[in-house]
Amino acid sequence: MHKEMTDDERVLMIEEMIERGEVYDGYKNDIRISCGKQNRRRTTCTKEKFMIAYSPELSWRVIAERLGISKSFCLKLSHEYLDYRRPSVWVKATDEQIIQAFKDHPGGTLTTIAEKLNITPSSLLARARKLKLRP
């Protein structure tokens, strides 16, 4: 037989379940609610703070760490606060340098040529295909 619980017994039972970790804020009315973003602190970064931390010589990761924000949010702010977009930092070798490297090392592998140009082999392959140096 099932005994009906009083309100005090029910509250005591729920408090014990919370202490054991069986119940937490993520559950509400038998529907699971994502708690991931609830505890995040909303960071505001003014243009003045951004411009103090910004330097074209620094990477976005370093600037973001100085501001206490994520790298992607830092990039978003850069598009908003700067009048121009920062030159592409990932283009480390010009087309002429790539063409010359392939001429200088006709039998060389992509890895060795990429090391000489200080880029990754996959970037070199993509650029070589774009320049029609490789099939």
State pLDDT tens for residues 66-112: 888 888 888 888 888 886 555 555 567 888 999 999 999 888 888 99
The strand ranges marked E within 3-133 are: 27-28, 31-32
Flag whether pLDDT at 122 surpasses 80. Answer: yes
Q: What is the mean pLDDT of the chain?
A: 78
Which pTM does this prediction carry?
A: 0.36
CA distance 81 to 78: 5
Low-confidence winner among 22-36, 44-58, 67-81 (lowest mean pLDDT): 22-36
Burial per residue of 23-49, b for 16 or more beta-carbon CB atoms within 10 angstroms, e otherwise: eeeeeeeeeeeeeeeeeeeeeebeeeb
Q: How far is CA 43 from the centre of its chain?
A: 16
Q: What is the CA radius of gyration of the chain?
A: 28
* Coil/strand/helix, residue 80: helix
- 93 Cβ contact partners less than 8 Å away, ≥ 6 residues apart: 101, 117, 118, 119, 124, 127
Q: Is the pLDDT of residue 39 over 80?
A: no
